[in-house]
Every structure is written in C-alpha cells, then in structure tokens.
Amino acid sequence: MDEATKNAVRERAKDCCEYCQLPALHVRPRKFHFEHIRAKKHRGTDSLGNLAYSCHRCNLHKSSDLTGIDPKTQKLTRIFNPRRHRWSTHFAWEGAILVGKTAIGRTTILVLAMNDPLRVAIRQELIGRNRLPVFA
C-alpha cells in the first residue's frame, strides 16, 4: 500500500480508530493498522472504499470476520462497516462505555471487544481531560 493511500485513510479517519473511536495519540502502543474491511481472503481489495484506520486491538479482534452473533437476538449479524454505515446510527456513549443501538452495533462491540477494561480506562481518562471525540 503506498503512502498516499495510507495518508488518505488516516486523514479520512481524523487519526482515530474508525471502530472504537480512540484517537491514535492516546492509544498505547500507538500502533494503528490500515485494515481491510473485507479481508483479502474474502476478495477484498486495497481500494480506499475497503480500507479503515483501526487501532491494533480492534483490528486484531476483528481479524477477517465479516459477521458475528448479536448478543441480544442470537442471530448472525454483519459487523459495522465504516464505509457503508453511519457510526452514530449503531453506537452511543454511556460515559466511557460504548453501547450498541442496533444489532450491528451490539455485534461489533462484542466481536471487537470494544469495552475491554483497558479501552474503558483510556476512555475514562480522556473524558476526564475533555478529549474523547464524539463522532456523528
């Protein structure tokens, strides 16, 4: 992947994880990935429309998954796609906890472990410093 593509993905994401919304500046280690929303093994491409800026924790939990089981309905459900879905439609903040508003949101939070204790602690610290971004 060339530098121009990486820069375009990073800028589009405003230097934040497109899944959990943590800013790269506040994630340790500060390792973000240029993640394939649809993995290459599922015929995904390196096009801008298939790339997301992702913190290492979201990317490693997501892996090549496209779906998961909604914890509320127990039905197979798609994972959030930052190119096709609006973040605020599927997620909401309750303090430092990320809440799924839809089956896609709930499933994504579960599969990507978006409320693991480390991320909640980072969010709590950012809230205390008035630095947690809120994306619509």
Q: Is residue 25 in some structural domain?
A: yes
Q: Is residue 69 in some structural domain?
A: yes
Q: Is residue 113 in some structural domain?
A: yes
| pLDDT for residue 117 is more than 90 | yes
Q: How far apart are CA 7 and CA 136, in angstroms?
A: 22
Q: Is residue 135 in some structural domain?
A: no
| pLDDT for residue 28 is more than 90 | no
CB atoms within 10 A of CB 115: 16
| pLDDT for residue 48 is more than 60 | yes
pLDDT at 51: 98
- With a CB cutoff of 8 Å and minimum separation 6, the contacts of 60 are none
Read off the pTM.
0.91
Question: What are the residues facing 3 on neighbouring strands?
Answer: none
The total number of residues shown for the chain amounts to 136
State mean pLDDT over 68-81: 98
Q: How far apart are CA 9 and CA 48, in angstroms?
A: 7
Parent domain of 90: 3-128
